[in-house]
Structure 1
Amino acid sequence: MSGIERLIVVVLFEGVDLLDVTGPPEVFALLAREMDEPSGYRVVLAAESLDPVTTAAGVRVLPDVTFADIADRRIDTLLVPGAVELDAERRVRAITEPAVVQRVRTLAPVARRVASVCVGAHVLAAAGLLDGRRATTHWSTARQLAADHPAIEVDADPIFIRDDHVWTGAGITACLDLTLALIAEDFGDQWALRVARQLVMYLKRPSGQSQFSVLLDPVSTTRRIEALRHYISRNITAPLTVADLAAQAHLSERQLTRVFKTDLDTTPAAYVEAARVELARHGLETTDDTLDRIATTCGFHTPDTLTRAFRRTLNTTPTAYRHRFRTTP
């Protein structure tokens, strides 16, 4: 194993998210510790110059090499972290500096594989590396990615996505899941599992696991819909049909559907199902309740309905989800 050098290049630039930069190298380093021999991975931080780079956390990081130093090197994995800023309305937006985009565009063709961490997917997109591919990014900038790059099939749900040799990761800590997947591809699941145990992580989260809770969705700009969301959470076992919700909000069914689409980018029925699935997830993670009881308390009423909802929204079953994410003994 140690006879092969796998050069991992992490792209550095001002304002980059610190964990995007430091997370993957830590995972790669743990592999060598588990093997008790060199893994072959050599991680370098590359920037325009060797001057310290100030991350979004205010911590300064020293590059190992300049981009010019590795211009003629064969790169195994090009890792592209991300950076964000707040716009005038305090909304999170991914940053894509033209100079960084150009460097990634130049380095990508000589890399065996390319991977983005969190909002680094926006850099890959700006470099033209995601056109015609399925990709993910942090949930807060997924709409921006889809709007800016219509040629990309943006899926904001998975923890990470692999499309041929291009990988994209979701939220910041998903960089750990992504890196474990890269290790599994190179050395097999058994080594990735050993590293995951050191990190106190699951080797594989279900590929369809949602990145975020429906309770963390952007707050609606319509007070009436916000009140309705609270009503749904308090009455989750009620029928909660579109007609019921429309009556509660004093809107027509058509108006309700239009407002949900505008404010929450979903339908009333899909929102209710997502809220029920979230409650079921919590029950599966933290209790010993039977599927019958969980289905009843979450408004699904039968295990079959619960299972169909899990397959539809998480691409897994309640039993499989509990096996992976149970937090009780």
Structure 2
Amino acid sequence: MAPRTVLVPLFDRVQSLDVTGPVEVFAGAGPALGDPCAGYRVLTATLDGGPVRTSSGLTLTPDHALADAPAPHTLLVPGGQGTRDPDPRLVAWLTEHAPRARRIVSVCSGAALLAMTGLLDGRRVTTHWAYCDELARAHPRVEVDPDPIYVRDGNVATSAGVTSGIDLALALVEEDHGRDVALTIARRLVVFLRRPGNQAQFSAQLAAQTARREPLREVQQWITEHPDGDLSVEALAARARLSPRHFARAFQTETGLTPGKYVERVRVEHARRLLEDTGGGVAEIARSSGYGTPEAMRRAFLKTLGTSPAEYRRRFRAPLEA
């Protein structure tokens, strides 16, 4: 099979990780397939064919000028500070050429560039959480979902900030070449194989503020590492060497979440990862995630995610044990 061409338009003040993260994923497909020439042909291009400077100060040298670039199978539009006041010629090029691509992808605020072309009108999309409101206000015909790390709507896929571009690229590789190839690439990059698109942009640890006081920070870390432990307020308070009442008040003040809500988020996230990436039985996963019974985990999933563990696993195709 001929390699699919992936074209990445570059511009001044592009976010370097929006480019290099997905590029490393696509570039890893050939070696994972056992043929360096298979998988994808990844190309970069700028308006005039000259180098650009990223928002972090790196200089990127393109393969082509956009006018000379071959028609891509996948057009990947990165984000960065340069999307806030883009060159009108870039928007015009995207307006004309993006619809010709078989697959259109954006990372972070690259969605803003696509929105300027009208390609996102009537579509559900996402972008970096910091830009969601701005994108929705500027383009009211675009349905902006601020929560997931990436969204697929037809042949258009949009992702949230920076590293979520890696998650989306891995999902696309898995779609094109299978789970084993994507897993090989993920292992080489030392990242998760695939965070599902509907995973929130904020994990429990990111959604909560990091506590200022060291005992509370240690408790946060301990919860994450021991979801199956005794995570009652009394047990956590003893670990922090505080009274239960003082601990509960201090934890919520410093993290923005009650201890119970934080524990709930950590346990659901732990169970989700196991359902996505292992073949363990539901009862086993319930125990290791701190739920006394599969029914308790089922209630937590229905409350938090609106779906059962079995349906969640089926949706994301994690293999079940025989």
State TM-score, norm by structure 1: 0.67
Q: How many percent of aligned residue pairs carry the same amino acid?
A: 38
Judged with a 3 Å threshold, the aligned counterparts in structure 2 of structure 1 residues 279 and 317 are, in CA distance, closer, same or farther, namely: farther
For 1:137, the equivalent position in structure 2 comes to: 127
CA distance in 1, matches of 2:103, 2:137: 26
The 1-side partners of 2:182 and 2:161 are apart by 20
Letter in 2 for 1:97: P
- 12, 29, 32: which is aligned to 1:31? 29
Q: Does 1:21 align with 2:11?
A: no
1:79 aligns with 2:76: yes
Within-5 A mapping of 1:118-157: 118-157=108-147
Distance in 2 of aligned mates of 1:295 and 1:318: 18
Residues 131 and 152, structure 1, Cα contact 8 Å, conserved in 2: yes
1:193 Cα deviation after fit: 2.2
When residues 69 and 155 of structure 1 are mapped into structure 2, their CA distance, relative to the original with a 3 A threshold, is same
Q: CA deviation at 1:315?
A: 7.9
Deviations 1:201-253 (A, max 9, x none): 3332233211114675699xxxxxxxxxxxxx9xx989xxxxxxxxxxxxxxx
* Aligned-pair Cα RMSD in Å: 4.0
CA distance in 2, matches of 1:119, 1:273: 34
Query: How far does residue 272 in structure 1 lie from its aligned partner after superposition?
Result: 10
Tell me, in whole angstroms, the C-alpha distance in 1 between the residues paired with 2:125 and 2:260.
24
Structure 1 counterpart of 2:303:
309
State the one-letter code of the partner of 1:32. Answer: G
Residues 244-268 of structure 1, C-alpha deviations (whole Å, 9 max, x = no match): xxxxxxxxxxxxxxxxxxxxxxxx9
Which runs of no fewer than 5 residues in structure 2 stay unpaired?
A: 210-219, 221-230, 234-255, 275-283, 318-322
Aligned residue pair count: 265
Q: Are the equivalent residues in 2 in contact too, given 1:208–1:316 (CA < 8 A)?
A: no
Give yes or no for contact 2:50–2:65 (8 Å, CA) kept in 1. no
Distance 2:119 2:81 in 1: 20
Q: Is this contact kept in 2: 1:158–1:207, CA < 8 A?
A: yes
Tell me the alpha carbon deviations over residues 61-81 of structure 1, each in whole angstroms, 9 at most, x when there is no partner.
1111001112xx332111100
Superposed displacement of residue 36, structure 1: 2.1
Match of 2:86 in 1: 97
In the aligned structure 2, how far is the partner of 1:108 from the partner of 1:315? 38
Name stretches of at least 5 consecutive residues in structure 1 with no aligned partner: 86-93, 220-232, 239-267, 325-329
Matched, 1:200 2:190: yes
Q: Higher mean Cα deviation, 210-219 or 199-208?
A: 210-219
